[in-house]
Amino acid sequence: MTQLKQPAGLSTERLGNIENHIDRCYIQPGKLPGTLTLVAQRGEIAYIKAQGLMDVERNKPMSRDTIFRIYSMTKPITSIAMMQLYEQGRFLLDDPVHRYIPSWKNLRVYKSGIHPSFLTTPAINAMTIRDLFTHMSGLTYGFMHRTNVDAAYRELGLDGSPGLTLESLVNQLAELPLEFSPGTAWNYSVSTDVLGYLVQLLSGQPFDEYLREHIFKPLGMVDTGFHVRDDQLDRFAACYQYQLGDQFELQDDPENSAFRRKGTFLSGGGGLVSTIDDYFNFAQALCQGGEFQGRRIIGRKTLEFMRSNHLPDNRDLPGLSVGAFSETPYAGSGFGLGFSVKTDVAKSQTNGSLGEYGWGGLASTNFFIDPVEELVMIFMTQLIPSSSYPIRQELRAIVNGALV
């Protein structure tokens, strides 16, 4: 386990504002059950603090080795896995997806109707692999509750119903219309789950085995995976749901959680559990150009490519998004190959650096990497949805305020 040190570029006293703020505004008022926050600079952990409870019903305190549902913080890991295969020449970003999934050759776009009686029109553009990375594919999520297309996703259980597999997901998506022609708009979606399917297809390995061999094992991520083992149960946090009046109620009990079972759906978009130290190893590898403690998971130039803004004409998300959901504030943020990317600090109305990148998860977890300051911040808690409180932006203000 990485030991706590004090980099020259951060003020210990000012980092203490994190603990004070979380305790005063979230733990004491009962808004969050518990939190775990990590800040590191130049590879040294300068701040790590557990606050509150990981399991309110059992009165178990939050601890450094608590296991969390990281949900969409799975997406950057899947994206790195796919780009490892890119570095081996297995695909190009402008390859049409139907080259690898033939049933997707004639995808169509929604015009009207409800499932299964849709009226559709031909897509203007063929979907490319880059469209999957950037969420410009025209796919969606069932939990959006925005259109008749996402209603079909819910009806068919495409966000992770029992018995779903990567293969059945891809097969059923071939039968559904897209929200829009690929490359013309941005919409958060199951795109990264499709990338997980492609990792499996191109590598010839089951997706979970690929991640374990090529990312988790090299980085020493011993507690990260698609289910919680028996020996991990005592460290597995409870998950809570926001309730009106700034309260919360139990949403997923660790004892009988679906994460306790080996499921059939290995979701590259949101299926992993992890610890803060495991995720730090991953984030620090990215902060150091793709290498951690002598083990490289991705090339330096590949990572620079991934954390560039890949939205057309260097636009930010408000100019392209058709939905009202994101794990990042829209203004001043573009999107790379698996991460949000800060493109305009002033427009974002949040302190930081140009090129800051990262993502978050449904249960309010979040991380960002600032390549200018060589800074990593990881925040773990378990409250659904992630939009319940503005704590992510507050933490950015505090952490950046501690730079000296």
Q: What is the DSSP letter of 242?
A: E
CA 179 and chain centroid, separation:
22
pLDDT tens over the chain, length 404 residues: 445 666 779 999 999 999 999 999 999 999 999 999 999 999 999 999 999 999 999 999 999 999 999 999 999 999 999 999 999 999 999 999 999 999 999 999 999 999 999 999 999 999 999 999 999 999 999 998 999 999 999 999 998 888 999 999 999 999 999 999 999 999 999 999 999 999 999 999 999 999 999 999 999 999 999 999 999 999 999 999 999 999 999 999 999 999 999 999 999 999 999 999 999 999 999 999 999 999 999 999 999 999 999 999 999 998 899 876 655 567 999 999 999 999 999 999 999 999 999 999 999 999 999 999 999 999 999 999 999 999 999 999 999 999 99
pLDDT at res. 1: 47
Structure tokens at 107: 């995808």
pLDDT at res. 323: 73
Q: Which contiguous run of DSSP H or E holds residue 239?
A: strand 239-243
pLDDT at res. 4: 63
pLDDT at res. 8: 75
Is the omega angle on the peptide bond into residue 385 within 30 degrees of 0, that is, cis? yes
Phi/psi of residue 245, each to 5°?
A: 90, 20
First to last CA, the chain: 27
SS3 191: helix
Cβ pair 49, 18 in contact under 8 A? yes
Q: Which contiguous run of DSSP H or E holds residue 243?
A: strand 239-243
Backbone dihedral region for residue 317 (phi beyond 0: left; psi -120 to 50: alpha; all else: beta): alpha
Kindly list the structural domains of the chain, giving each domain's residue range(s) and its CATH number in brackets, ordered by start: 12-83+206-401 (3.40.710.10), 91-191 (no CATH)
The full 3-state SS of 30-78, as one line of letters, equals CCCCEEEEEEEECCEEEEEEEEEEEECCCCEECCCCCEEECHHHHHHHH
Cα separation of 326 and 311, whole Å? 15
Of the candidates 404, 363, 357, which has an alpha carbon nearest to the alpha carbon of residue 384?
363
pLDDT at res. 330: 79
Handedness of CA 247, 249, 252, 253 (dihedral sign): positive
Cα separation of 100 and 104, whole Å? 9
Of the candidates 295, 171, 274, which has an alpha carbon nearest to the alpha carbon of residue 232?
274
CA distances from 294 to 77, 281, 288, 290, 291 (A): 19, 12, 11, 10, 6
